[in-house]
Each structure stands twice: as C-alpha cells, then as structure tokens.
Structure 1
C-alpha cells in the first residue's frame, strides 16, 4: 500500500501540473482573471484564478486511478461527493460571484451533511435524555461550526503566493502518513492525492504566481481538511486535536484575526487585508516567498509535534484524563503562538509608527 500512496501522490501531481500547463496555454484561463482593483488584492498584475478546478479534478482522478474508493465507507463517499459539489459551486462563485449569505448557507449545509453522516453526537443524543442529550447535540453543532469555519478560513488564508499550496502539501501529507500507519487506506490515499495535487499547483503558484487557486480550490481544501480530520478521529486514527494542530498556522492566524475584527466592530463578511500574513507583506516588507516559507516551516514543526497526539499515546481524547493529556500536549504550542502573536503585534506597531514618521 505504500506504493499506492506514492502513486496517488505522483499521479495527482502529474495530472495537476499538466492540466495547469494546458490551461495556461489556452484562452480559457485568461477569461477569468483575479482583479487587481479589489481592496484585498495582494498582486499588481491580473492572474488567472481557475487553478483550483484543475487541482480538485487532479486529486479526484488520482484517487480513482489507484482505487482509493474501492472500499470506502459511506462517510468517506459522502465527504468526497460533498467536496466535489462544493468545488463546483465555488467555481461558479469565482465566475459569477455569490453573496456572503449564499456562501455561508452552502458551507453550513455541507458541514451539516458530513456531521449527520458521521453520526457524531447524534447517535448518542438519540439514546439518552436530559442534559446528556443536549451535550451530544451540542457536540454535533460544534462539529458543524468547526467544519464550516475551516472551510472558510482556508479560503481566507489563500492570499499570498504558495501559502495555501504549502499548507495543503504538508497538512494532507501528514494526515496521509498517519492514516497509512493505521491501515486506513481510503483516508490515506485521498489525503496523498490531495497533497500531490497541491504540489502540482505549487509549481505554478510559487515563487511567482502564474495562476491562483480561487474559491474553487481553497473552499473544498478547507472542507476536506476538517472533514477528513473528523473521519480520522471517528476511526481512531488520531485524537480530536491532531488535525487542529497540524493546520494550526492557518487556524490561529484566521481565528485571531476574526476575533480582532469582531472586537473592532468590522464587517466580518467582507474581504480584507488584516491577516498576519497580509501585514507581514504590507507593513513589514516581507516578500511573498519569505512569508510562505516561514508559514511552511511553522507547519512542519506543528505537524511533527502533532504526531505525539496519536491515539496510541494519548487515547481517544474523550474522557477527562485523556482530555487533560491532550491539553497538556497542546500547552507548549499555546505559549508559542501567544509569544509569536505578541512579537508580531509589537513589530507591526513599530512598522506603522515608522511609516507615520516618514
């Protein structure tokens, strides 16, 4: 099966790279360009934004070629189909533009579909009464919100060359390796294919962006990160905190930025340039390349550390003692992120003061 995982990665990389090369040489790519006059744009030159369509197609074809769904469970098939539907709907959003309300309903519906198929919390809520029923129902609601938020935040963080590509390679690659170690081959193959497709995309997006992922790529990638994380948790591959820590560079940046915007009374549904990676480029003068490489290095560190959160070492992370163990292992990274945020805020404040004096 190790050879199949390598094949899934290689096929996805090759299909994505060849598909993007063909797309860039066609007129189709230049019919829908990312506008440079958007207030959250980070590029001075218009760039095609249909890369996500090729990325998701490459991943899907690779999975089919290596037989990744031959023995897939109902939940895995549900995740796969919903991801493809999200990719199609988000591709239409790239072309036509959908309202924030429509996108939110779409993402919540996708999250609810997967949560319902997983039975998380709902199977137990139906068999108990009183406070426990509310507790398990609350768990299902939390899962829906978490999947919807991950779906969106991956899109929010796709704003600098190579950033989303590196996160996809490292994050899904880590999940593929761990799933393979636990003989969850459908999960491992799909994650390997997504990682390989992200690698194929990165060739054309880093260090210079010749094509963007667009919502058609970033939205289903965020959805898959959360949904496949849920799948692995339910099948005993990892604890609930494992995928959270693997993708934590994205999660922390997007979540802290959202909290700051809510506190400031900003319209949180509007696009902006206030994420930390935005500010590093715009205020501190970092290049897209430096920013992406720093985030990638951080994700390599969190992914390596997250291997300590596997069920074989910490249990499933469900009872009080195991939850305490998981939180204890997360504590060092909570301190690291708090320190990084404090240092970044100080540096950004200093950069703004220098600009004001100039």
Structure 2
C-alpha cells in the first residue's frame, strides 16, 4: 500500500509542478486551443496538459513497479507511448479522423495481441463463458476503441474528463486494494495523482486543457484497468465480488462516457447521416450547458450521476441477476439523459409565451 501512496504523491508532484511551464510554453509558442462555436472558452488556452499527466503517471508507475514480474506491461507502456505520440501530434497539428483512428487501432492491437490484455471470458453473462482467441480479439478491439474515444468525446467542458477519470479509477482502485493487487493499485493511484494535479489547473476557469494526448491515453489506461479488474475478480471470494457481475459492474462504473458516446454516435450516423467523428453539440454536457448550467455545475452533475450508478451497482451486484442489472442501468441512463432535453423544450415553450 505504501508504494501505491508513493506513486500517487510522485505523480501528483511531477504533474502539478510541470503544468505552469507547459502553460508558459503554450503562450510563448502560441500553441492554443482556439475558441469556436462548440466551445465555451473565449480565451486562448493551451491543450498540452496531457504531457504533464502522462509524464507524472508513467514516471511514478515505472519507478514503483517491477516490470519483470508482469512482462505484458511492457506492451502496455509501448502502446501508451504510441497513443500519446498520436495525441501530441493531433494537439499540435490536427490529424484527420482516419489517421487518429489508425493510431488508436495500432495501440489497441499492440496491447491485445502482444500484451495479451483482452476480454477472455464473459464468466457466464448471457450464458457465455470462455471465448476463443479470435473472438476475444474481435471483441477487445472495439472495446478499446470505444473507451478511448469515449473519454476523448466527453473532454468538452472544463474538468469533466479528468473528474470522471478520477471517479472511475478510484472505484477500481478500491477493489484492487481489497484484492491485494498491489501493482494495479499502484497503476490506479499514480493516474489519480496525475489527474488531481491536472484538475487544479483545469477545473472551473481552466488555464490548460488535457488535449487528445491526455483524453485518449486516459481512455486507453482505463480500458486496461477495467479488463484487469474483471479478470482478477474471478480469483477472489464472492464476498468481495461475484465474477459473473464484474463485467456489468464495470459497465456501470463507466456508464457516463460509454452511454454518451453510443448515444452521440447513433445520432450522428443514423439520424444526421454524418460521420461518427463529426464534431457537434449533441453530447449530454452540451445539453446541460444549454439549459443554463455553468461548466462547473454540468461537470458536478455528471460526476454525481456517475457516482449514483456506482453506488447502485454496489447495492445490486449480489441481489439482482447480472443481465437484469444491465437492463436497469441502460433504462436509467436513457431516462436521465432525456431530462435536460425535456427541460430545454419547456424553456422554449415558456419563452414563446412571453
């Protein structure tokens, strides 16, 4: 446990004290995220916060873990570096969606095939157990791509991606602590430390954004953590966690980024007949802003909702059949996501009567 706490402190320290230099560099070199009609900020703000987050995390993680006992983590580090490089390139000189997707796919393939970090079983969910190798790969690649882009998509208002990341990783960290999985606890606490330091400069009146180099790597690392969580939960007593429920629990923990991304992709592809990567204002956080919330209020609302789903999952995982849990979470997520749009319609009707 003390190694995990040291990793937390080290990552926090490196990230916290490197960000001012990155902010100054962004100002001097004019490396700004320019305002447009989708963004609420009016100032020129740098989007290289991912450099500080990644540097703090990777230094602390390598320093306090022994790679020799987990050789698959070498592939994780290689894939993370590749995705980080793609993100930096996109932050400095925007890439086409196709090129960025190619980088994401390459990182996913490295960690899945070379690192063998993949979905290996459904553990009885939908009466599906062990997956054959190729089916496992075929399901794991979309999962990585979904979560990488999910955190990239929700990084649209100050503090949201970082705050959701802290909530999600903290939840998995608690279970790794209960399981005695020191290495994965170190991984989690190192990333939490880096994110909390970053949020000091990003929450509220942001002075820096995490950019694609931050959001894509965040989604990538969370995917790895979630897969490890599901796999490791199999080997522990049911009073810690039921293996059959672990995948559903992981879905509940990640409900905000996953549901928002699937919802937006559906709207873009099937309703608007556009590319799933076409930028718009159809995200739930945009809907909250449109009904009058500030960025801080919208972020805190979504973090609270995410926390509600996590608490609900903890209550239901030992009492409700997993497939019914999944149905409950989907129905609740759909219902809650409609509230800001209903409020917006009522505001329009009320304004029309005046």
- Rounded to whole Å, the distance in 2 between the matches of 1:163 and 1:74 is 33
- Per-residue CA distance 1:280-300 (angstroms, 9 max, x = gap): 11x211100000111111222
1:349 aligns with 2:345: yes
With over 3 angstroms needed to count, the CA separation of the structure-2 counterparts of 1:142 and 1:186, relative to structure 1, is same
Would you say the 8 A contact 1:242–1:309 is kept in 2? no
Q: 5 Å matches for 1:166-205?
A: 166-205=163-202
Q: 1:270 aligns with which of 270, 275, 278?
A: 278
Would you say the 8 A contact 2:67–2:73 is kept in 1? no
Give the match for residue 9 of structure 2.
10
Classify the secondary structure of the residue corresponding to 1:240: helix
- Per-residue CA distance 1:123-166 (angstroms, 9 max, x = gap): 9xxxxxxxx99965333212100111110111010010110110
- Rounded to whole Å, the distance in 2 between the matches of 1:206 and 1:133 is 42
1:294 aligns with 2:301: yes
- TM-score w.r.t. length of structure 2: 0.86
With over 3 angstroms needed to count, the CA separation of the structure-2 counterparts of 1:98 and 1:285, relative to structure 1, is same
Q: 1:142 aligns with which of 130, 139, 142?
A: 139
Of the structure 1 ranges 237-246 and 51-60, higher mean CA displacement relative to structure 2 is found in 237-246
1:75 aligns with 2:83: no
- Rounded to whole Å, the distance in 2 between the matches of 1:164 and 1:192 is 17
Aligned length: 335
Classify the secondary structure of the residue corresponding to 1:235: helix
Structure 1 position 212, deviation (Å) = 0.4
Root mean square deviation of aligned Cα: 2.7
- Rounded to whole Å, the distance in 2 between the matches of 1:268 and 1:302 is 26
With over 3 angstroms needed to count, the CA separation of the structure-2 counterparts of 1:73 and 1:285, relative to structure 1, is same
- Rounded to whole Å, the distance in 1 between the matches of 2:305 and 2:117 is 34
1:62 aligns with 2:60: yes
Structure 1 position 348, deviation (Å) = 2.9
Structure 1 unaligned segments of length 5 or more: list them. 124-131, 315-323
Classify the secondary structure of the residue corresponding to 2:276: coil
Q: 1:216 aligns with which of 207, 213, 237?
A: 213
- TM-score w.r.t. length of structure 1: 0.85
Classify the secondary structure of the residue corresponding to 1:84: helix
Give the match for residue 85 of structure 2.
88
Give the match for residue 240 of structure 2.
none
- Rounded to whole Å, the distance in 1 between the matches of 2:162 and 2:343 is 27
Give the match for residue 20 of structure 1.
19
Give the match for residue 124 of structure 2.
none
Q: 2:247 aligns with which of 240, 243, 257?
A: 240
